[in-house]
Chain A
Amino acid sequence: MPKAFRTAAGFTGIVLLSLVMTAAFFGPFMAPYDPQAFHPASRLEGPSFAHFLGTDQFGRDLLSRLLHGAPSTIFFGLGSTCIGVGVGSVIGVIAGTAGGWIDSVIMRVLDGLLAVPELLFTLLIVTFLGGGMGQAMLAVAVAFTPGMARIARSSVLSIRTREYVLAAIARGEPSHYVVLREVLPNAVGPIIVESSIRVAFAIMIGATLGFLGLGAQPPSTEWGLMVAEARQFMFRNAWTVAVPGVAIALAAMGFNLFGDALRDSLDPRQSQ
């Protein structure tokens, strides 16, 4: 295991990440109860043997709801980030390798798009696309694209001036070789690191959209939605909001820690 992950922070990140990904993949199968099933006799209860994390206003088991909502929450983050990173990186690489006026134009457009705060951008797009998970994911992906494009561009620019790239150009390698085999493999590092941290953001924004009613819709048990629905009951049973809220934070933290550890392990100053 790379050295950077052996620190307490890196290790915590991996542990959290594993927990979260397990929940995302297997959550629905691991849930002890049907997330929609009412247990009228045990409403708004705290943790007990029957219900590890307590119940909500309808007596539904919080743990089961949490596990069922894991895929929506987590895959939302992963999916929207992948799309945003994919499209953004392509744009950034094009800008970085083409240079000249193409680069200038792309940069100006990016600057303009980046002037709009991300959450705002997402809200706008989501409103006009209509609510729902898919639309929300697309909105977040679009909001992420300019930022990722910038990062991809600067990564490519810094690699482009490295001497081994110059050597390839000097000896007459065709441009597609230079870009694909010399530049890209060495430029992906910062992009991957940033993506990991972006997933954390995406999860948070996705939960926020769910909370605002613009993302996941009932009867989904996406975690942001869970907090929204439980708000009016939060003083009667704090667990109804605390459970999904803390889960969101832990998931985001896992990706953040992982991303930081990844950045440290790729940092050339750390090796040797």
Chain B
Amino acid sequence: MTLGYLVRRLLAVILVLIVVTFAVFAITMILPGNAAVMILGEYGTDEAVAALERRLGLDKSWYIQYFSWVKGILSGDFGQSLRLSLPVADVVGDAFLNSASLAGIALISVTIIAIPLGVLAAINRGTVADLVIGVFSYIGASMPEFVTATLLLLFLAGPALGLLPAGGFVALTESVGGFASHVILPATTLGLILTAHISRQVRSEMSEVLSSDYIRAARLKGLRERRVIRRHALPNSLAPAVAVISLDVGYLLGGIIVVEEIFAWPGLGRLLIYALENRDLPVIQAITLLLATVYALSNLISDIIIAILDPRVRYA
């Protein structure tokens, strides 16, 4: 893995992001209705609409609009929120931190739980433990986030048990306990589904590794099973596991939208829903671009980690 490889991957990411900005921009251009009409709604007179269009710069040709938008982004200016009369960057910035903490907690807990689960299931393939883990992960993967969230709320936040708050947010800086109690349910919702996905994939990767020739050769050398798993099987399953987790980041970025909405967690997802309902274009564009960038970067990072883990790529 050389500097050249890194540079090329970075270029590829940038290329992808350019396409994304295009797509985001195109969606807002091509689809019916424009921002001015949507904002003013049925009450907009033609003059008012035209005035708003001029104000928003919507009367200029599309490539001018596109380039001025991109130019703004590169200098950190994402425009003004149409609804909140605040710079988009500020609004999105706060929300981003909240989402990041939620996603981060979910992802870390999942990694700690799901990978061992998958490994255990593969090692004990065909036993009851495997079956139980398998059924659980199947069910988990078949439930949309809002169903999981609702069921969790039902059981844990109901008046009967009243263990946890049904939603809302307390900043970490205000109270660690408060933050923790409010983050548990949304993180668990995300976590359950992620665990289901990831443990299934890890199980399947690990099973493949365990049925390979070199594992057979290791066992036939008389090595104890613990060493075979630890030194031969696990290192070869790490790279695929990382790949799986990075794919799920994409899922996470979608699921977080719903979860934040249900639990009233003030992150990017909730902000996006609000912006979509109110046709707040600059906010929508900024959030989309941000999420796509996070996804692309996470893919890049996982590629690099895989390259580091796999000597065939590292020393190529």
Contact = CB atoms under 8 A, between A and B. Distances in A.
Nearest to B12: A111
Interface in A121-153: 123-125, 127-130
Nearest to A211: B146
B150 A115 contact: no
DSSP class of A's interface residues: helix, strand, loop or mixed? helix
B68 interface: no
A231 to B, nearest CB: 7
A114 B316 CA distance: 28
Contact of A117 (B16, B254, B284): B254
A204 B27 CA distance: 24
A245 B39 CA distance: 35
Nearest to A244: B147
B250 A238 contact: no
8 contacts: A113-B23, A124-B24, A128-B32, A207-B147, A234-B150, A245-B143, A245-B151, A249-B147
Contact of B142 (A119, A212, A238, A252): A252
B295 interface: yes
B169 interface: no
Interface residues of A, number: 42
A212 B261 contact: yes
A124 B254 CA distance: 12
B95 interface: no
Interface of B: 12, 15-20, 22-24, 27-28, 31-33, 138-139, 141-147, 150-151, 153-154, 158-160, 250-251, 253-255, 257-258, 261, 272-273, 276, 279, 284, 288, 291-292, 295-296
A125 B257 contact: no
Given A212-B273, A234-B153, A235-B159, A116 B144 contact: no
Question: Nearest 10 pairs between A and B by C-beta?
Answer: A112-B19, A119-B254, A128-B31, A252-B142, A253-B142, A245-B147, A204-B144, A117-B253, A117-B254, A127-B276
Contacts of B273: 212
Query: Which one of A115, A123, A124, A234 has the greatest number of beta carbons of chain B within 10 Å?
Result: A115
A69 B251 CA distance: 27
Contact of A116 (B138, B139, B160, B288): B288
Contacts of B147: 207, 227, 245-246, 248-249
Given A211-B146, A245-B150, A256-B141, A112 B16 contact: yes
A108 B141 contact: no
Contacts of B141: 256
Contacts of B143: 204, 245, 248-249, 252
Interface of A: 108-109, 111-113, 115-120, 123-125, 127-130, 200, 204-205, 207-208, 211-212, 224, 227, 231, 234-235, 238, 241-242, 245-246, 248-250, 252-253, 256-257
A108 B31 contact: no
B203 to A, nearest CB: 13
A112 B292 CA distance: 9
A147 to B, nearest CB: 10
B159 to A, nearest CB: 6
Nearest to A255: B142
Given A111-B16, A117-B250, A200-B142, A235 B154 contact: yes
DSSP class of B's interface residues: helix, strand, loop or mixed? helix
A245 B32 CA distance: 33
A117 B27 contact: no
A172 B20 CA distance: 42
B46 to A, nearest CB: 21
A256 B142 contact: yes
Given A115-B296, A211-B146, A235-B154, A109 B272 contact: no
A243 B132 CA distance: 24
Nearest to B261: A212
Contacts of A115: 16-17, 19-20, 292, 295-296
B254 A241 contact: no
Given A116-B23, A117-B253, A120-B254, A128 B146 contact: no
A117 B291 contact: yes
A128 B23 CA distance: 13
A234 B146 CA distance: 13
Nearest to B21: A112
Contact of B150 (A204, A231, A256): A231
B145 A208 contact: yes
A128 B19 contact: no
B150 A227 contact: yes
A112 B20 contact: yes
Given A128-B28, A253-B142, A109 B19 contact: yes
A235 B147 CA distance: 15
